[in-house]
Homo-oligomer: A and B are copies of this chain.
Amino acid sequence: MTCNIIMQKPANINLSEYLSAKGLRSTSQRDAILKLFMAAGRHLSAEELHERVRKAHTGISYATVYRTLKLLSEAGLAKENRFDDGFTRYEYNSADDHHDHLICTRCGEISEFENDKIEALQLDVAKKKGFKVRNHKLEIYGLCSKCQRKQGE
């Protein structure tokens, strides 16, 4: 059901290219953060990432995690998502992969979907209003199947 026929290309830029193009420096902290960020799967908050980073690589500060996450976003390697739970979650941004989110308000599980029809309809709506779309965001909040079952207990 979820099999993706087209292989997802990784984000086209890699970090060290981006850094040197901008005259920035490569550091052990940045490497460690990127590595754990990519390994972690999606939708990590800065706090969660910091936790993991600190375990593997003592002494990396909160500030550095935030700064690096911002850097990764600018480089196109990460994408920021501000859901309704009050803090920003980051996901690794593979090129051209746009998707939207289903968010379980009970357990916090976030799953993804893609729907071309919805995208097309959005463009129609925007066009009718003379609006030029740059970005969009669709979030569906509710209960995942697990939590529906638990709810009955």
Chain A interface (Cβ within 8 Å of chain B)? 82, 84, 102, 104-105, 111, 113, 115, 117-118, 121-122, 125-126, 129-145, 148
Q: How far is the CA of A133 from the CA of B140 in the complex (A)?
A: 7
Q: Which residue of B lies closest to A136 (CB)?
A: B140
Would you give the shortest CB distance from A119 to chain B, in whole angstroms? 10
Residues of B within 8 A of A140 (CB): 122, 125-126, 131, 133, 135-137
Q: Which residue of B lies closest to A138 (CB)?
A: B138
Residues of B within 8 A of A130 (CB): 144-145, 148
Residues of B within 8 A of A144 (CB): 129-131
Q: Can you show 7 pairs from A to B with CB atoms below 8 A apart? A: A102-B131, A122-B138, A125-B140, A131-B144, A135-B142, A136-B140, A136-B141
A102's partner among B84, B102, B104, B129 (CB-CB below 8 A) is B129
Q: How far is the CA of A129 from the CA of B144 in the complex (A)?
A: 8
Residues of B within 8 A of A129 (CB): 102, 111, 113, 144-145
A102-B131, A145-B131 known; A125+B137 contact, CB < 8 A: no
A142's partner among B134, B145, B148 (CB-CB below 8 A) is B134
